[in-house]
Amino acid sequence: MIMEIKITVERRRSSVTQGMADVLINGVKVMDFGDTIELIKPGEEYHGPIIGGWASKTPDTSFILGMLYHPCDNLYHISDKVKKALEDIQAQEERNAPVFTELQRVAQKQGWPMKIKARGEVAYLVDVQRLTGNDIAPIYRFPGGDSVVSDSELIPYTEEA
């Protein structure tokens, strides 16, 4: 049996000059970092989206290394989060069953996609809004911030080849 561990960085922008980077292990967020957004000069290297001439100069590998070898690990215990994520993957392999977060369980039960394309943007399911009674609504993270979405906006996002 081959174990696959996929570490990804998903960048998000709350404005033209403010950014965050989430580091995920097999699709589960382990850590988030502030992403310094700078004005990019012509020909200058940048990472992630460029909006109005502003983008990050920080490569994904810096965030991954920050998660794995954080200089303040003795205070923040980030390595414990990484170990927990890897232990969950190991336990899942041993059980040979998928590992789901509580949010993923709710999304699956409600039929909500984890990633949608709505309002001209790609958005990620991040939370649930409790409504009156036992009703709930999905909250998605858009580049401009988090928002509850309507059922008509729950169109799964698929990568275009």
pLDDT tens sequence for the chain (161 residues): 456 788 999 999 989 999 999 999 888 888 899 999 999 999 999 999 999 999 999 999 999 998 888 888 888 888 888 888 888 877 777 666 555 678 888 898 999 999 999 999 999 999 999 888 888 999 999 988 899 999 999 999 987 63
Last residue of a domain, one of 48, 70, 95: 95
Alpha carbons 74 and 71: distance in angstroms, whole number? 8
How far CA 74 is from CA of 24, 69, 80, in Å, comes to: 21, 11, 10
Q: What is the pLDDT of residue 161?
A: 37
Last residue of a domain, one of 95, 112, 132: 95
Is there a single domain that holds both residue 75 and residue 44? yes
Is there a single domain that holds both residue 47 and residue 106? no
Alpha carbons 53 and 30: distance in angstroms, whole number? 30
Alpha carbons 142 and 74: distance in angstroms, whole number? 33
Angle between helices 78-95 and 60-68 (to 10 degrees): 90
Is there a single domain that holds both residue 70 and residue 115? no
Residue 132, C-beta contacts closer than 8 angstroms, at least 6 positions apart: none
Is there a single domain that holds both residue 80 and residue 27? yes
Domain housing 140:
102-153
Is there a single domain that holds both residue 89 and residue 23? yes
Q: What is the pLDDT of residue 84?
A: 85
What is the model's pTM? 0.55
Cβ atoms 118, 45 nearer than 8 A: no
Q: What total of structural domains would you count in the chain? A: 2
Is there a single domain that holds both residue 55 and residue 123? no
At position 126, the amino acid (one-letter code) is V
Q: What is the pLDDT of residue 57?
A: 95
Q: Following DSSP, what letter does each residue of 91-139 receive, concatenated?
A: HHHHHTS----HHHHHHHHHT--SEEEETTEEEEEEEEEE-STT-EEEE
Q: Which of 108, 106, 112, 101 is nearest to 149 (CA)?
A: 112
Alpha carbons 139 and 130: distance in angstroms, whole number? 10
